Structure 1
Amino acid sequence: MRLADATWTDVRDADVDVALLPVGSTEQHGPHAPLGTDTLNAVAVAEAAAAAYDAEPRTGVADAVSRGEALVGPPIPVGVAEEHCAFDGTMWVTPDTFRSYVREAAASLPVHGVDRVVFVNGHGGNVEALAEVARRFSRDPAHDGYGVAFTWFGAVGEHASDMGHAGPLETALLRATTPDLVREDRVESARDGGVDRWGEWVSGVNLAHDSDEFTDNGVVGDPTAGDAERGLELLDRAGDALAELARAVADRKVADRDVDADR
């Protein structure tokens, strides 16, 4: 179920086990891919996972019951992306604002009985902040919620090493799910004007704070190596991994807690 498409009575009458909350970014993805790439890809993976979330009995339950369903929340489209500030159209918020907004948005769900959440992330710059969001959400004594963060491009097996930025993985997933948004006539020039590696590294430290310090067109990696067939494989892998995680989150028993949520 997509929350934005449902009515309030649909949600009231549904048997929801877990919410999948896509979190993306609005930032440059080279001359060939849309600013909304991270959001589009997070939504695609969340919807694939929801479709894969099956009705098999929950494990570890004395009287086995069928599963309910996974709810796909509306995407959060602006994230921690100031590293791309030199490129037109990029939007960002501070990590503090991002953490507060995402956590408070998720805290709306337990009020309606949806107390298990997976934050489905599509942007590398959100990773650290989302890990903290999930911890704070899970420790909040105001509700019984429990959540974890999932980043799709970390769950695609050997493909993960090709991530880059606007490179083969993101381009492949777009070609498989929203091909009309890929500027195919610019893909080769995007490759030619890009770089092979993110950052400028010395002694294990990245000297570059912003992406324009090492890539003129915003591309890291070879987008021509990401065709639609590869994109479908990425979608299957990430969707299946997220569905497996969602089942584990739905089944997890969470102990009562009494902690200060502002610590």
Structure 2
Amino acid sequence: MHLESAMWTDVQGVETDLAMVPIGSTEQHGPHAPLGTDTLNAETVAETAAERLDDPVVVSPAVPVGIAEEHRQFSGTLWTSESTFRSYVRDIVGSLASHGFDRVVLVNGHGGNAAALREVAGAITRHDDAYAVPFTWFEEVGDYTSRMGHGGPLETALLQHVNPDHVREGCLDDAAAEASDRWGDWQGRVNLAFDSAEFTENGVVGDPREASADLGEELLDATSEALMELLETVAEHDPDRPTHR
């Protein structure tokens, strides 16, 4: 059930304690993919898992702005501080839990959100009346994960499969021509760069020409299957909440 299109009387009758919160970002993805790529992809994965899952699950509206200051030099990028982001996500989970949806998977589409989501999920589970875990879709696509990049083949492929009108196919060659082949400016194991503009001219990392709708379908099948398995586990898992002394 999608909360944004449901009536409150419908929500009241849902017999589940399971929910998902899609979490994305509004940030540059090169000249070929939209600023909302991460949000669109997070929504796609959450919605697909919800449709395929045998048991009911509530899907909240997506969080469209995340931790993305690393893309600040590219027009249209929006970002928030980590503390604000964590508080906002925690409040959403608290709202869901107040209605009985107290087992929540945070379905993430942006790498910059990952550390903060792990931290806030821990705080929620330890201190609030809810259990939350993060899930980042591109970490659950097997060997393809190493090809993630940014505006690269994986993100572009998922868009081509589900939201093809959002991809400017005529810009793929230009996107690839100025793309970086890795995330950062490295000395040994130390990344010297904090912002993407330091190592990529157009914001792209990886070759989006390697994307295809068929690859997107394969990615969606893999990550939605992993998310379904996680939801089933979360539904049964009893987190240890020791009494505070």
Bucket of the pairwise TM-score, normalised by the shorter protein: over 0.9
Q: Report what 2:63 is aligned to.
A: 76
- Contact 1:139–1:259 (CA under 8 A) maintained in structure 2: no
1:146 aligns with 2:138: no
Matched residue of 1:69: which SS? coil
Distance 1:124 1:211 in 2: 13
Q: Report what 1:178 is aligned to.
A: 163
Higher mean Cα deviation, 7-16 or 206-215? 7-16
User: Aligned Cα RMSD in Å?
Assistant: 1.1
Displacement after TM superposition at 1:184 (Å): 0.9
- Contact 1:140–1:259 (CA under 8 A) maintained in structure 2: no
- Contact 2:17–2:100 (CA under 8 A) maintained in structure 1: no
Mark the runs of 5 or more structure 1 residues left unpaired by the alignment: 55-67
Displacement after TM superposition at 1:257 (Å): 4.0
Q: Report what 1:212 is aligned to.
A: 197
Q: Report what 2:50 is aligned to.
A: 50
- Contact 1:18–1:115 (CA under 8 A) maintained in structure 2: yes
Distance 1:250 1:146 in 2: 10
- Contact 2:18–2:57 (CA under 8 A) maintained in structure 1: yes
1:253 aligns with 2:238: yes
Displacement after TM superposition at 1:253 (Å): 1.7
Q: Which amino acid aligns with 2:104?
A: V
Displacement after TM superposition at 1:256 (Å): 4.3
Distance 1:138 1:76 in 2: 20
Q: Report what 2:213 is aligned to.
A: 228
1:189 aligns with 2:194: no
1:135 aligns with 2:122: yes
Matched residue of 1:98: which SS? helix
1:202 aligns with 2:184: no
Q: Report what 1:58 is aligned to.
A: none
TM-score w.r.t. the length of structure 2 is 0.97
- Contact 1:172–1:227 (CA under 8 A) maintained in structure 2: yes
Q: Which amino acid aligns with 2:77?
A: T
Mark the runs of 5 or more structure 2 residues left unpaired by the alignment: none
Q: Report what 1:23 is aligned to.
A: 23
TM-score w.r.t. the length of structure 1 is 0.91
Matched residue of 1:198: which SS? coil
Distance 2:152 2:241 in 1: 44
Displacement after TM superposition at 1:104 (Å): 1.1
Displacement after TM superposition at 1:203 (Å): 2.0
Displacement after TM superposition at 1:16 (Å): 2.1
Aligned residues: 245
Distance 1:202 1:256, change over 3 A: closer
Identity of aligned residues (%): 55
Residue deviations 1:190-221 (CA, integer Å, cap 9, x gap): 01111111101112010000000000000000
- Contact 1:46–1:239 (CA under 8 A) maintained in structure 2: yes
Q: Which amino acid aligns with 1:171?
A: T
